[in-house]
Amino acid sequence: MSTQKNQTKKFVVLFATFIIPLLFFLFLASGKVNFEKLPILTENVGNIPQTSGVSFSDKISVVVFLGKDTTLGSVQQLLNLYQVVYKSTEKYIKFQVVVLVEENPQNIKKLTSELAFVGGIDLKKWHFVPISEGNTKTLFQALKVPFELKENNSSSKAVLIDETLNLRGRTDDEDTSDGLLFGYDMTSVHILKNKLREDLKVVFYESKFVVKEPKMN
Residues 48 and 2 in one domain: no
* CATH number reported for the structural domain that contains residue 179 in this entry: 3.40.30.10
Q: Identify the CA nearest to 39 among candidates 206, 212, 194.
A: 206
Same domain, yes or no, for 168 and 203?
yes
Q: Has residue 214 been placed in a domain?
A: no
Q: Are residues 12 and 55 in the same domain?
A: no
Q: What is the percent of the chain with per-residue pLDDT over 90, rounded to a whole number?
A: 58
pTM metric for this prediction: 0.79
Kindly state the helix (H) or strand (E) to which residue 64 belongs, with its residue range.
strand 60-67
Backbone angles phi, psi at 4, to 5 degrees: -65, -40
Whole-number average pLDDT of the chain: 84
Range of the domain at 1: 1-34
What is the number of structural domains in the chain? 2
Name the pLDDT band for 155 (thresholds 50, 70, 90).
very high
- Check pLDDT > 50 for residue 216: no
* Segment 21-48, tens digit of pLDDT: 665 555 544 444 445 789 999 999 999 9
Q: Is residue 92 part of a domain?
A: yes
Residues 6+ apart with CB under 8 A from 8: none
> Residue 42's closest CA among 178, 148, 180, 207?
180
Q: In the predicted model, what is the mean pLDDT of residues 186-192?
A: 97
29 and 45 together in one domain: no
Q: Are residues 170 and 205 in the same domain?
A: yes
Greater confidence, 15 or 211? 15
d(CA 217, CA 212): 15
48 or 19, which is more confident? 48
Claim to verify: residue 19 and residue 91 sit in the same structural domain: no
**Contact at 8 Å (CB) between 190 and 59?**
no
Distance (Å) of CA 85 to CA 44, 91, 164, 193:
24, 11, 21, 7
pLDDT of 173 higher than 80? yes
- Please write the tens of the pLDDT for every residue from 119-134: 666 688 999 999 999 9
